[in-house]
Amino acid sequence: MGGLPPEIRAGTSAVRAPLQAGEFRQAVGRFATGVTVLSTLAGERHLGMTANSFVSVSLDPLLVLASVRRDARFHDPLLAAGVWGVSVLAADMSEASRFFAKRAHDLPDPFARWAHAIGPETGVVLLDGALSVFECRTVATHPGGDHTLVIGEVVFLDRRHEDAGPLVFYQGDYVEPVAVRTGPNGPA
């Protein structure tokens, strides 16, 4: 912290004009992310939602985090169910991403048009074409402004399509990822 200006170290802000949500969204949009479809249950009904706010948190125990808007229709059923799935989308799954980003939850069975399996541990939907899938049990939730941060313990995972590339979202659109040469220990 020695390199920070005194006003930041003291907890005061040197920013003169308030930051705007649109400007923030544009700046954050410059961070390329993968794309997922989250799934949960509302009673017997399966629900899904596209999300790119998904990260690994811990290896011991295995924890992941998803960020869900509090006003999303998916939010309350997710918190009530306490279980959820994550399907990490492959590059050829942009149609599924768009579908679950809209009003898929208005349909009686939003997963009917997508090949999927039911997770063996929690009963949530996992998309067949995904690069990898996770089943999670919620262990903590934290308010985060207009979102809730949902932390889940991974109770099942599967790496399905190691030969496919990821669906990448950047500045409001899907982009082709840059090819990365890999060696035995990862990127070269």
Q: What pTM does this model have? A: 0.82
pLDDT tens-digit map of 107-160: 788 999 999 999 999 999 999 999 999 999 999 999 999 999 999 999 999 998
How far is 163 from 161, CA to CA, in rounded Å? Answer: 5
Average pLDDT over residues 96-100: 94
Q: What is the spatial distance between Cα 34 and Cα 55, in angstroms, rounded to a whole number?
A: 10
Q: Which of 70, 66, 89 is nearest to 138 (CA)?
A: 66
Both tokens of 113, joined, read 């048009």
